[in-house]
Amino acid sequence: MTYTHILVTIDQGVGLITLNRPKVLNALNTELIEELVNALEKMDRDESVRVFVITGNERAFAAGADIGEMANETAIQMLLKDQFAVWDRIAHVSKPIIAAVSGFVLGGGCELMMSCDMVIASESTKIGQPEIKLGVMPGAGGTQRLAHAVGKVKAMEMLLTGEPITASEALRYGLINRVVPIEVYLDEALKLARQIASQPPIAVQMIKKAVHKAVGHGLDEGIAYERNCFYLLFASEDQTEGMQAFMNKRKPNFTGR
């Protein structure tokens, strides 16, 4: 299958998916996510693939969602479109997914990273959920997975200020597995993937399911609540102001309406 926004290769049991919208810092539009999920599901059925690696480029894993795609939507339009439903399918991929991240890992990029099972990050990585600065909030699991990963108080700080943390901070809070020099972050992720690919595949998949059971209790309900809150915010004037200010490269003026 030919993809427009991702690159896919398979080697030594590892399915490598590269986000490929470099001109917009790999902003996650609907088409890219659809392609990503379709590629994961297709390779999940392929017995020659045992582990996945998702990466971007040195400058950005993904700098967020494609704001232009949603800036003018209403709350009802967002609710009916339910653009994040496709993200739920990532959690049903049976094989381990490793994120190899560098540079900007923001908004939807952070949510995609947290949807993966392990993370290798370069020293240049900046991780955050800046949606508050646009008058909205995370809608693809960010509030839930971040709180599960780093704890309530740090999650609150990151979500309510919108400020990113460094790779070393993310490592300290258990959000990522390891930090390596930028020159080798993808190589390190592939090395880890090949190590896991050499293990018995059925046991690997059962372990993944068991760990998800351990950490995912109540996650589905929380994500559903988060998503409804996200869509409801599109009825606010602050959402319109925040996204228009972002697109026009100016400071927003939030009024609380």
- CA–CA separation, 21 and 28 (whole Å): 8
Catalytic residues: 65, 108, 111, 131
Q: Are 42 and 1 in contact (CB under 8 A)?
A: yes
- CA–CA separation, 143 and 185 (whole Å): 27
Cα–Cα distance list, 228 to 87, 92, 224 (Å)? 15, 21, 6
- Burial (CB count <10 Å: 0-12, 13-18, 19+), residue 21: buried
Q: Are strands 165-166 and 126-128 parallel, antiparallel or unpaired?
A: antiparallel
- CA–CA separation, 69 and 24 (whole Å): 13
Quote the radius of gyration of the chain (alpha carbons, Å). Answer: 18
* Other Cβ atoms within 10 Å of 86 Cβ, number: 15
